[in-house]
Structure 1
Amino acid sequence: MVEKFNATKGFDQKHNETEKTYLPSSAQLLDRFRDHAAKTIQQPYLSHPSEDYSLRLRHTTSASKPDKIDATLKSRGEIVETGLSRDEFTAPVTVNKYQFYNANLPTVHKQRSSPLEAIDIDFYADGYTHVESEEPVAWRRFLNEFDLSDTDFEDVTGEVFTDNEWRAHQQYRREHGGREAFSPHREFETDIALGTILQYAKSRVNISRGRIPVVRLYGRSGSGKSHQLDLLRTGLREHDVPSQVISTDDYNVGTTELTRQNGGLHPANFDHAGVYDLAAASRDTARLLNGESIRDRRFDFATSEPAYGNERVAPPDNTVLFVEGLWARHDTFDFADLTFEIETPLATAIGRRITRDLIDRPEFADPSSNLGYYLECAEPEYRGV
């Protein structure tokens, strides 16, 4: 079950945006504000409307201010009395990373006039115009100060055509012969994967490369790897098939070693391959397959250093051995019999990761920093750049 931002208590106020959207009764009604549209906005999307979260980049240019580039992750939200209520998280993005992502993405182009605080008038390149109001008081003031009335506008809050992401994808399809920029998100098919694994585990003839079948499971941070692993292991137990796990995440070399490798500077990127002793993970996997015992290890989040536990005996012949983790995709584990990628889209993965931190470790959670780190470091590493 996918957790939603709005289902979580305690941080909605801090990261919440609630706004109403109004459509003018005529195209000319707001023309007087067009000349005062001080901001030009280019807004590409890294998400698909079928996802639980939207993720957009934004490049804002203005004659009076330096260019601004940022990223915003939003929940789909819900309609409440005061408008569309969504949780949102914003982080700055470097020019290099903006250029890295902004390649043939669904994009909206618009000019923005902000005649009052909490009032934005957006003039889109395709001729569409609407007004966004973040506060009822600001909306009344806007009408009064500019000699307008409620009858001049239609409240279209929540209508699909007002959604920037939807408009970006609609324009993309028009320009690309109806093709989608991204495939609509489909959840990992656990039952199909389980059936395939059982063919290896239950075969009367050993069809695995080694003594027991090895199953590799990887995906982005926040993709749901651990959840899918739990489901697969539960399914195997229901068929009387035991399993063990080697997690590449447990082979993190620790902050002390990373600082040494980084010339004494505290590391900034914790997602590159050098963070993990993949050679040791591969050796331990080989030992288990050869019937040898290994020393259990894990990463201690309290100290940010590796920790070692008891001896782990080799699994019996009727066992499935999972190699799981962000770097389980590394070619050092190409000896696996089966490989499954949890292909969770970027926006959904980031949303799940931020939600998980806010629920499990709220005292340490920093959604804006997490979003920035994911886009600057984690995702480029995952893409192998």
Structure 2
Amino acid sequence: MKPVQIILIAGGSASGKTTVAKRIANVILKDKSVTYLSMDNYYKNFPEMTLQERKKMNFDHPNIMDIDLMVKQLVELKKRQAIEVPKYDFTTSLRMKETFRVEPADVIIIDGIFTLHIDKIRKFGDIKLFIKTPDDVRFIRRLTRDIEERGFTTDQVINQYLETVKPMHDFFVGPSIDFADVIIPYQEGNEVAIDLVATKVASWVD
């Protein structure tokens, strides 16, 4: 049985990580044995707190992630065992009651801001990518996303960005670029870099 290969995709908030991951998994390699997984599903759960208290939490610090669960499930995927992944609701900042099943595959693509910062996760990476996107582009994307999809106000997004997102990016996320095997300067339609990675991955599953 061939070993399971894991691709880790890191980068700042709203840098384009998920776009790149899903393009490789669902478009370029859609007929291959490839599964996509987001680190965003592994935020810790704090049901005892009020919504207002949860909204004030620092979601850009690695301590907010349930690393033990993620490591456990990555080990299971490496053993070609199916896993039940938590669903996280960003409008309530809580895990949902239901989970979703992820089947094992030859290649697992995982994106998240801390995939290269956290050593316990980074050691799973057979290819480690960092999506490098200008700060102003990332902020505009985050502003739009958090208002339209996550129920934040403009002031909440701006305050969160200045108080936690940018400082945590500068301290934890940005420096993790040093662990990357490949750095992708993200821009709309950067097909060359994505295709190069996809070609390498395709060689694993042919």
Normalised by the length of structure 1, the TM-score is 0.39
- Counterpart among 159, 162, 186 of residue 375 in structure 1: 162
Aligned amino acid, residue 289 of structure 1: K
Confirm whether residue 293 of structure 1 aligns to residue 72 of structure 2. Answer: no
CA contact (8 A) 1:248 1:324 kept: yes
Q: Provide, for residues 173-226 of structure 1, a one-character-per-residue CA deviation record: whole Å limited to 9, x for no partner.
A: xxxxxxxxxxxxxxxxxxxxxxxxxxxxxxxxx6xxxx1210001111111111
1:228–1:313 distance in 2 versus 1, CA, 3 Å: closer
Q: Provide, for residues 46-90 of structure 1, a one-character-per-residue CA deviation record: whole Å limited to 9, x for no partner.
A: xxxxxxxxxxxxxxxxxxxxxxxxxxxxxxxxxxxxxxxxxxxxx
Q: Secondary structure at the match of 2:47?
A: helix
Aligned amino acid, residue 29 of structure 2: L
Aligned amino acid, residue 236 of structure 1: L
* d(CA) in 1 for partners of 2:37, 2:146: 23
- Counterpart among 264, 274, 277 of residue 66 in structure 2: 277
Alignment of 1:245-284 (within 5 A): 245-256=36-47, 259=49, 266=54, 267-284=56-73
Find the counterpart in structure 2 of residue 345 from structure 1.
134
Question: How far has the Cα of 1:303 moved from its partner?
Answer: 3.6
CA contact (8 A) 1:248 1:278 kept: no
1:310–1:376 distance in 2 versus 1, CA, 3 Å: closer
Find the counterpart in structure 2 of residue 99 from structure 1.
none
* d(CA) in 2 for partners of 1:268, 1:297: 19
Alignment of 1:295-314 (within 5 A): 295-307=84-96, 308-314=98-104
1:303–1:351 distance in 2 versus 1, CA, 3 Å: closer
Alignment of 1:16-165 (within 5 A): none
Normalised by the length of structure 2, the TM-score is 0.70
Question: How far has the Cα of 1:359 moved from its partner?
Answer: 4.4
Q: Which runs of 5+ in 2 are unaligned?
A: 173-206
Find the counterpart in structure 1 of residue 120 from structure 2.
332
Q: Secondary structure at the match of 1:323?
A: strand
Question: How far has the Cα of 1:306 moved from its partner?
Answer: 1.5
Confirm whether residue 222 of structure 1 aligns to residue 11 of structure 2. Answer: no
Q: Secondary structure at the match of 1:299?
A: strand
Find the counterpart in structure 1 of residue 181 from structure 2.
none
Find the counterpart in structure 2 of residue 81 from structure 1.
none
Find the counterpart in structure 2 of residue 236 from structure 1.
29
1:268–1:297 distance in 2 versus 1, CA, 3 Å: closer
* d(CA) in 2 for partners of 1:378, 1:370: 10
1:226–1:311 distance in 2 versus 1, CA, 3 Å: closer
Higher relative contact order (CA 8 A, sep 6+): 2
Find the counterpart in structure 2 of residue 157 from structure 1.
none
* d(CA) in 2 for partners of 1:360, 1:294: 27
Q: Which runs of 5+ in 1 are unaligned?
A: 1-205
Q: Provide, for residues 335-354 of structure 1, a one-character-per-residue CA deviation record: whole Å limited to 9, x for no partner.
A: 21001111112111001111
* d(CA) in 2 for partners of 1:373, 1:302: 15
Aligned amino acid, residue 79 of structure 2: N
* d(CA) in 2 for partners of 1:213, 1:301: 29
Alignment of 1:187-202 (within 5 A): none
Question: How far has the Cα of 1:295 moved from its partner?
Answer: 1.4
Structure showing greater Rg: 1
- Counterpart among 176, 198, 212 of residue 4 in structure 2: 212
CA contact (8 A) 2:35 2:109 kept: yes
How many residue pairs match? The answer is 164
CA contact (8 A) 2:7 2:110 kept: yes
Q: Identity, % of aligned pairs?
A: 24
- Counterpart among 320, 324, 342 of residue 107 in structure 2: 320
Question: How far has the Cα of 1:299 moved from its partner?
Answer: 0.4
Aligned amino acid, residue 368 of structure 1: D
Question: How far has the Cα of 1:278 moved from its partner?
Answer: 1.4
Question: How far has the Cα of 1:293 moved from its partner?
Answer: 2.2
1:306–1:335 distance in 2 versus 1, CA, 3 Å: same
1:320–1:293 distance in 2 versus 1, CA, 3 Å: same
Aligned amino acid, residue 228 of structure 1: V
Q: Provide, for residues 290-321 of structure 1, a one-character-per-residue CA deviation record: whole Å limited to 9, x for no partner.
A: 12222122102344221342543322xxx310
Deviates more, 1:269-278 or 1:293-302: 293-302
Find the counterpart in structure 2 of residue 76 from structure 1.
none
Question: How far has the Cα of 1:248 moved from its partner?
Answer: 1.4
More strand by share: 1
Alignment of 1:160-175 (within 5 A): none
